[in-house]
Structure 1
Amino acid sequence: MNFLNEVAGRFPDAISLAAGRPWDGFHDPADLPRYLSIFQDHLTASGMPPNQVRTLLMQYGRTNGVLGELIARLLANDEGILVPQDAIAVTSGCQEAMVIALRGLCARPSDVVLAAEPCYVGLTGAARLLGIDVVPVPEGPGGLDPETVAATARAVRAEGRNPKALYVVPNFSNPSGVSLPVAARRALLDVAETEDLIVLEDDPYGLFGLDDRPRVSLKALDRRARVIYLGSFAKSCFPGARVGFLVADQPVVDHDGRRTLLAGELSAVKSMLTVNTSPVGQAVIGGLLVESGCSLRAANREKTAFYRRNLRTLLAALDTCFRAGRGQGIRWSVPSGGFFVVLEVPVQADEKLLELSAEQYGVLWTPMRFFYADGGTHAMRLSCSAIEPGRIDEGVGRIARLLADHS
């Protein structure tokens, strides 16, 4: 990620099909005081005295945050996930939620995490920071195969290690763009029960399908408390607030028979990382949630339309530029939503080629090998989220010229 930022900084005029962030055109600094005001009015209307409103916004706060009630309503409205607010911990971005979940679940050196591969670098990087091994489970054309997950868990256990969790992005995965069919989601939960795994479900892109067909979350299907849901407001609201959350409603019983929820126990980890998530950041997101009636599906209609148009434009540009190259080492994925398309190419798509691409062809992309333990050397991740639609065709055309000159 640092390498990509460094290359983008050196070539600011290059067309970027690398950045997976939201489009800047949706964000206006004038929204910040408006959301803050809406949230303060919400607190006042709920009966909170002015001195308590001041303390909530300006002081250290509750470790697991103050948005539990609003997020619980959001999850019920948009995802059909029904959990108590005490099962929710508000985090400093979804990245912190990953670190907290990994640290809370993996307590022994033999504990490992399984992860769909290719895998988001934030998860593998967090695990590396914590000294936790990540065991890749290769994705197929239809996403993660539950039988492969089971076989991998058993193989890891036979080696004397303990598979504790499975990380998966079920909707329009980063980087592959793959989505899990509903039947596979149900089967994956059965495997989690049989193999005693906790599923870490990360769903930052679920709002942005190419159609309005509902895509049921693993957590909504979870009847045996096998799923920890990792949520983010970065794509659906804006990244600068740095607010994410986790849902951990698993019951925990201590040595004295005291019953709590896992989210409460994980607060001990969070308290040592960031003490509490910024109350100001939470208030801004809280105002947005109040304004939207706790439905990000409703609040994101304009964004969803924009990202749909961009993804269709990207797929059409690939078809125009590379139709003749099919069968000659060039092919690409066709996701049903999200931000990302994988382009397989007949050359090494490494850092050296990316620098050449930026300097001589004026276009950026992401080497897929960043998302593999060992592999992805002949593929590029193309992102269509942070770019105006009119520049996508030109960006793909530049990649086509790069490949024509260096294949």
Structure 2
Amino acid sequence: MSATDPGAVLRKEDLHRSLADPVLDTMNFLNEVTHRYPGAISFAPGRPYDGFFETEDVFRHLRRYLDHLEENGASPADVRSALFQYGPTAGTIRELIADWLRRDESVDVPPESIVVTVGCQEAMFLAVRALVPGPDDVLLASSPCYVGITGAARLLDVELVAVDEGEQGFRCADLEAAILAERARGRRPRAFYVIPDHSNPSGSTMPLETRRELLDLAARQDIILLEDSPYRLVSPGEQLPTLKSLDRARRVVQLGSLSKTLFPGARVGYAIADQPVVDAAGRRTGLLADELAKIKSMITVNTSAVGQAVVAGMILAAGGRLSELNAGPAAYYGDAMRVTLEQLAAAFPREEREALGVRWNEPTGGFFLALTVPFRADNEALVRSAEEFGVIWTPMSYFYPQGGGDRALRLSVSYLTHAGIADGIGRLAAFVRAAAR
């Protein structure tokens, strides 16, 4: 490279258009703010509490899985290969995941209908790519929604249509109206993405009656439901049935994550895709899971064998009942939500709350809740909150793919100690009062 030649310089407009989309910058911006103000208390990260992790557990669980392989007849060479070599694209621990789902979630599917993915994010990517093939096909999503599905749609050039939750939560009538409106425009609605349990970001949970109604709607309107429920087993109390456990017509593709229930560093998720696939002549060619595995083979090749091994050891150690393994964390997070709600009530007495126009929902589990405020809760407000008041949160506008949520913020209760929550809510209250002036 000469002094007069600066080398390759790429113009932003020559890169994929999704890279200019603000949604792809949201997490980077939050990370930047967090690093810029290390003394601030952060309600932003939806991360499990660090106190549940012990470094030595990784080796113990790995050993447990290797013992399992040997007990089932694997030779030393087989065990070595299982850890060090490329594995099957669809995953090496599908049987164990299927067994856990049957024991804990009443989901009875064959192992071959499961694809083990690099976190739930890859499962989303695979499902959207397979199910939404052309420019006239659309993906629908309950809004506000997790930014991961929005980002996947943008990167894949898939049109995402938001179905807004009302004050009382998601309504099937709104989804059906959106489906009919898209068809009237000459487009084909293919799938609907939803987090039925303690959703990210709003914390809402879909009632059982609505779940049944949604399954009926999916069959009537011929769409697939993409169910993402990572917070069920880390929430206190008895949980409602998953959409997949209620599914009798194979209308649900479940997108699963073991990040919250086991540990994020493993980067292990899964997709249950038991829908039969037929060719133009109507002959069955396999399952949707087989098609997802084809796509995966061109993206990540396979999910980390070591990550799968550690996860498998944890499942085995729990006797296939991750609900029991997560009983302690679920109680902790339930207490964290309770403490947060109590601190909000104490920081904003009812009369002041009503005068300011501040309100919040009261989720029964999960990591998140939404707080409505009397000002624009944007990036500028976030920086002021971190810099002047020492508290960080997430703008709810990040989670509205077609606009909205400008006067609301998301609080995550999972990562902080109870003392940290109390301190953080005090700081947040001071910021809200100052910003409302």
Equivalent in the alignment of 2:331: 305
Equivalent in the alignment of 2:392: 364
Equivalent in the alignment of 1:235: 260
AA of the residue aligned to 2:339: T
**1:323-349 deviation digits (Å, cap 9, x = unpaired):** 233323110011111111111000111
Question: How far apart are residue 195 of structure 1 and its match?
Answer: 1.1
Equivalent in the alignment of 1:42: 68
2:334 is paired with a residue whose SS is helix
Name the TM-score, length of structure 2 as normaliser: 0.91
Structure with bigger gyration radius: 2
1:219 paired to 2:249: no
2:222 is paired with a residue whose SS is coil
Equivalent in the alignment of 2:403: 374
Question: How far apart are residue 217 of structure 1 and its match?
Answer: 0.3
What is the total number of aligned residue pairs between the two structures? Answer: 406
Question: How far apart are residue 21 of structure 1 and its match?
Answer: 0.7
**1:279-335 deviation digits (Å, cap 9, x = unpaired):** 011001011011011111000111011101100000001111112333231100111
Equivalent in the alignment of 1:58: 84
Equivalent in the alignment of 2:149: 123
1:273 is paired with a residue whose SS is coil
Equivalent in the alignment of 1:393: 422
Matches within 5 A, 1:99-248: 99-210=125-236, 212-248=237-273
Between the aligned partners of 1:171 and 1:345, the Cα distance in structure 2 is: 25
Between the aligned partners of 1:213 and 1:316, the Cα distance in structure 2 is: 22
Instruction: Provide structure 1 residue ranges, at least 5 long, that are not aligned to the other structure.
Output: none
Equivalent in the alignment of 1:291: 317
AA of the residue aligned to 1:342: A
Question: How far apart are residue 53 of structure 1 and its match?
Answer: 1.4
Question: How far apart are residue 255 of structure 1 and its match?
Answer: 4.5
AA of the residue aligned to 1:271: S
Spell out structure 1 runs of 4+ moving beyond 2 A. Answer: 140-143, 254-259, 323-328
CA RMSD of aligned residues (A): 1.0
Equivalent in the alignment of 2:16: none
Name the TM-score, length of structure 1 as normaliser: 0.98
Question: How far apart are residue 102 of structure 1 and its match?
Answer: 0.3
Instruction: Provide structure 2 residue ranges, at least 5 long, that are not aligned to the other structure.
Output: 1-26
| Worse overlay, 44-53 or 230-239 | 44-53
2:128 is paired with a residue whose SS is helix
Instruction: Tell me if the contact between 1:141 and 1:178 (Cα under 8 Å) persists in the aligned partners.
Output: no
Between the aligned partners of 2:352 and 2:411, the Cα distance in structure 1 is: 17
Question: How far apart are residue 19 of structure 1 and its match?
Answer: 1.0
1:327 is paired with a residue whose SS is helix
AA of the residue aligned to 1:397: G
1:229 is paired with a residue whose SS is strand
Question: How far apart are residue 161 of structure 1 and its match?
Answer: 1.0
Percent identity of the aligned residues? 50
Instruction: Tell me if the contact between 1:142 and 1:179 (Cα under 8 Å) persists in the aligned partners.
Output: no
